[in-house]
Structure 1
Amino acid sequence: MAYSFDWSVVERSAHYVLIDGLGFTLSLTATATVGGVVLGTILALMRQSSIWPLKKFSELYVDIARSLPLILVIFWIYFLLPFVGQWVLGAPRPVQVGARTSAFVTFTMFEAAYFAEIIRSGLRGIRVGQLFAGYSLGMTYFQVTRYVILPQALRNMLPVLATQTIVLFQDSSLVYVLSLTDLLGAASDVAQRDGRLVEMYVFASVVYFAISFTASQVVRRLQLRVALPRT
């Protein structure tokens, strides 16, 4: 028996899926990207440090995070964070954190490990002579890193960071395990309610593809614009 498509369900639910669902997905992606880059930069600098405890902590953090599936980390943070809050605050019972907060914390901490490796690679790509040139001008290590090394490294890494952000956008669909209303979760809610799984999942797939494909084209153009001539 042929399936009878009813695409009107997409029109009726587009506002909910795109405003509530996609809105949360984009906010999660943006927050985790900014937080992940900041934390990843700190981890990358720690790994470049000559101070052994900092270097070792960064190595363990990155290795552990990259060795675990994201969905498992989501569960860990969701169930563990209330007990951490209880221990930090000395509360009599686990602190109510909520699924949204757990999702933002999880994605920021998890993606930081990947951003850290990207940033570390960019830092190692800067000639060491620029570090010594900064020293000769009387700058400290932190001043050279902040004003000379990091700006160049971030410029070179921008396309790779943007590509990782696209991957993060796609991975954000895993928050469905916490019953959050992201793009996929909103489409799934409508699909289950109206019994129109095919239409809604196709719609969600088209939205994911359109955004990811457009972003990948922007990254390609960005890569051409920021590419530095090699001599």
Structure 2
Amino acid sequence: MPGGFDFQVIYNALPYLFLDGMRFTLTLTLVATLGGIVFGTLLALMRLSRFRLLGIFAATYVNLLRATPLVLVIFWFYFLVPVLVQWMMGARSPVRIDPFWSSVVTFTLFEACYFCEIIRSGIQSLPKGQALAGAALGMTARQNMAYVVLPQALRNMLPLMLTQTIVLFQDTSLVYVLSITDFLGAAAKIAQRDGRLLEMYVFAALVYFVISLFASQAVRLLQKRIAIIR
């Protein structure tokens, strides 16, 4: 279909787009989300700690990365870290880092800043009486946080954490700048190979839109359900 919108090129590319590209995107989203939540929880506890130096370190880290464009962080880790490792180890050449794990570490470190603020807000949203009740039962500060505060705070912050995961899913398309075959990268390769940029980029945008729309609707339903429970 010269000069027209060719649906056949999209149909032929579906296995490659979803089995290779989308699988990479969803895997990166899942792993980076889990890592971001774990590291973000640690940062949140540091920010709420009574030890001032821990709070200053966590606040500096969070504010610094949140003020830095994500694409710049991706470039820093992928291109500069191998050089730094080479210098530290005294190697003759830069140490090669697998693109997937480079992306996982980059997104984990970056998204942890946002999960940190979500988790910190969720913890602070609980009435102080909850923590006092745990202390009255003889719980240590660690037990109080693990068994009383965090489980209740999770209900408050779950919708925001899921919303941030949707943002992360969209942001994973930035690994395209490293020529990694995520969903957008797969679409770009086919577009350049077949000379059908319009079809592939329109289809990629539509897929991201549909997935994000349905995920956002699911988060809204969950938020309403949580509101009813309260």
TM-score, scaled relative to structure 2: 0.95
Q: Which amino acid aligns with 1:105?
A: V
RMSD: 1.6
Deviation at 1:92, TM superposition (A): 5.1
User: What stretches of structure 1 move > 6 A for 4+ residues in a row?
Assistant: none
Deviation at 1:54, TM superposition (A): 0.7
Unaligned runs of 5+ in 1: none
Deviation at 1:189, TM superposition (A): 0.4
Question: Partner residue of 1:10?
Answer: 10
Q: Distance in 2 between matches of 1:136 and 1:203?
A: 58
Secondary structure of 1:139 counterpart: coil
Map Cα deviations across residues 49-100 of structure 1 (whole Å, 9 max, x no partner).
0111111110001000110000000001111222344466565543211222
How do residues 36-75 of structure 1 correspond to structure 2 at under 5 angstroms?
Answer: 36-75=36-75
Q: Distance in 2 between matches of 1:20 and 1:105?
A: 20
Deviation at 1:227, TM superposition (A): 2.3
Between the two proteins, the alignment pairs up a number of residues equal to: 229
Q: Note closer, same or farther for the CA distance 1:128–1:99 as it changes in structure 2 (3 Å cut).
A: same
Question: Partner residue of 2:182?
Answer: 182
Q: Distance in 2 between matches of 1:88 and 1:225?
A: 52
Q: Does 1:164 align with 2:164?
A: yes
Deviation at 1:154, TM superposition (A): 1.1
Unaligned runs of 5+ in 2: none
Deviation at 1:149, TM superposition (A): 0.4
Is the CA contact (8 Å cut-off) linking 1:81 and 1:102 kept in structure 2?
no
Is the CA contact (8 Å cut-off) linking 1:65 and 1:113 kept in structure 2?
yes
Q: Distance in 1 between matches of 2:178 and 2:46?
A: 33
Question: Partner residue of 2:226?
Answer: 226
Deviates further, 91-100 or 40-49: 91-100
Q: Distance in 1 between matches of 2:165 and 2:182?
A: 17
Q: Distance in 1 between matches of 2:101 and 2:7?
A: 34
How do residues 204-223 of structure 1 correspond to structure 2 at under 5 angstroms?
Answer: 204-223=204-223
Is the CA contact (8 Å cut-off) linking 1:156 and 1:227 kept in structure 2?
no
Question: Partner residue of 1:20?
Answer: 20
TM-score, scaled relative to structure 1: 0.94
Q: Distance in 1 between matches of 2:153 and 2:44?
A: 12
Q: Note closer, same or farther for the CA distance 1:140–1:86 as it changes in structure 2 (3 Å cut).
A: farther
